[in-house]
Chain A
Amino acid sequence: MNEPRKVTGNKRKWIVLAIVTLLAGGIISYFASPHPDGLERVAEDHGFIDKAESPSWTAWIADYEVPGIGVPLLKVGVAGLIGAGLLFLVLYSITGSLSRRVRGKDDVGQNDDHAS
């Protein structure tokens, strides 16, 4: 690897990132701009926004608002926390099942790593 920079192993920085994530999803998300985003703006300007369909029956938190919560801040915030938590769990299990090697430990014999 000739990358000039490497990902930090400093635990404190990752904890800060986790806190930023919780604040962003849980609180700041409520204050996000309600305006249409780039693609929606283009679709509105050029008259095809009505083509959009939203029939997904799986979407139990449509538009990032948890149904059944009265307080708007909580509605969005809980949605953000659920989403961030889901992503963490999903990616942890996917990448966890893909990675087997620990740096320095199993480096020997990595060429016959074709079991299973």
Chain B
Amino acid sequence: MHIPDGFLDLKTCVTTGVAGALAVAFGLRKTRDTLMRQEVPKIALIGAFIFAAQMLNFPISGATSGHFLGGTLAAILFGPAVAVIVMASVLIIQALVFQDGGLTVLGANILCTGVIGIYSGYGFYRLGLGLLRGRASHVVTFLAAWISIVSASAGVALLLAWSDTFPLDIALKAMVGWHSLIGIGEGFITAMVVAYLTERRIAIEPLPAKREVPQA
């Protein structure tokens, strides 16, 4: 859901530009305080993966496609501050080199698919894990990724309405409608990759009871 140049008016571009820049600055600052050296190649690899996965548009109904975004994935693995940097880097390179998403709306894209998507998805993830005490974490991950796509699309709808491109109620309905389908794909990919790349944090547990040796 990369917004192209021309969809948003000047005030929206400027406001979101400032907000996006602040968010990235905050992300960089926070990351500087907490980042561990051994995470660096992993973060870089996840960024490359997110870029490649975003190219893979999958068909949904009605001659429409959707693609992975990855904000929730990056946030679950490395925290929301790092995720903002990853998503901003992906969006900046896509806009600069690949003409995917406009330059004047870069801030808007960072705000919606980055900040809103990341914090809504990650917020739900932490809340869900807390409430369920870590049970059903794959389901929580799936739902978190779904919510992040739907919130990001609602953010885009708000900006479209604010720019008078499109009335708010129709914009919300249309954007949220399509992206609640696309979010299912996001949920599956995020849950799969998180399951593969994370392990349970195990405190020292007693060994399982010895099984009886079967009689020959």
Q: Which residues on the A side are within 8 Å of B50 (C-beta)? A: 87
Q: Which of B82-110 contact A (CB under 8 A)?
A: 82, 85-86, 89-90, 93-100, 102-103
- Option from B38, B51, B201 in Cβ contact (under 8 Å) with A25: B51
Q: Which of B74-132 contact A (CB under 8 A)?
A: 77-78, 82, 85-86, 89-90, 93-100, 102-103, 129
A13 to B42, CA, bound (A): 11
Q: Which residues on the A side are within 8 Å of B89 (C-beta)? A: 87, 90-91, 94
A36 to B65, CA, bound (A): 6
Determine if B22 is an interface residue (Cβ-Cβ < 8 Å): no
Closest CB in chain A relative to B36 CB, distance in Å? 5
B175 near A42 with CB under 8 A, answer: yes
Given contacts A4-B129, A95-B82, contact A59 B98 (CB under 8 A): yes
Query: Is the interface on chain B under 10, 10 to 19, 20 to 34, or 35 or more residues?
Result: 35 or more
CB-CB nearest in chain A for B149: A38
A99 near B37 with CB under 8 A, answer: yes
Query: Is the interface on chain A under 10, 10 to 19, 20 to 34, or 35 or more residues?
Result: 35 or more
Q: Which of B23-48 contact A (CB under 8 A)?
A: 28, 31-32, 35-48
Determine if A20 is an interface residue (Cβ-Cβ < 8 Å): yes
Determine if A69 is an interface residue (Cβ-Cβ < 8 Å): no
Q: Which of A16-47 contact B (CB under 8 A)?
A: 16-18, 20-22, 24-25, 28-29, 32-39, 41-43, 45-46
A61 to B2, CA, bound (A): 16
A17 to B193, CA, bound (A): 9
- Option from B7, B65, B85 in Cβ contact (under 8 Å) with A52: B7
